[in-house]
Amino acid sequence: MQKIEAEMEQRAEQNLTQILDTTFALPSKDWKQYAPLTLAYIGDAAYELVIRTILVKREDIQTQKLHQRVTRCVSAKAQARMIAALLPELSEEEAAIYRRGRNSKPYTKAKNATMAEHLEATGFEALMGYLYLDGQFARMAELAAKGLDALQVK
């Protein structure tokens, strides 16, 4: 019984990616070497989860209204505006990951955005994916906060 409690306590101190690594015996990777579209794929979901978490914790509202608010923050147009404001804040490494994502050749096109906005959003998502996989959650939150400020979302 003590062993189970000790494991539970140890897991409580870990972040989600550490728990997944341990539970599923996932290997460590150099996320900078991953394809930018792979980083954007996971970054899209990770960033949306961050935004959903922020909005759900701020206010208990109808899911339709919640969805509308989330969509304003996670659309390609919004992400393109955010990354434009964030570029001066990025480290060299982060900027390189963003550029790789932006310069990739996505297989899809955003419905309500230009191709330039879609590519900028893909770069933003690649950066979010890299930060998520690398366990840099504080940096994700910092960039999300600054990006939301740029969108004037409170």
Max intra-chain CA distance, the chain: 58
- The dihedral region occupied by 110, where left means phi > 0, alpha psi between -120 and 50, and beta the remainder, is beta
Interatomic CA distance for residues 33 and 39, integer angstroms: 10
**C-alpha to C-alpha distances, 113 to 8, 67, 76, 101, 130, nearest whole angstrom:** 45, 19, 6, 17, 24
Q: Which positions are catalytic?
A: 44
What is the C-alpha end-to-end distance of the chain, expressed in Å?
45
145 alpha carbon, distance to own chain's centre: 12
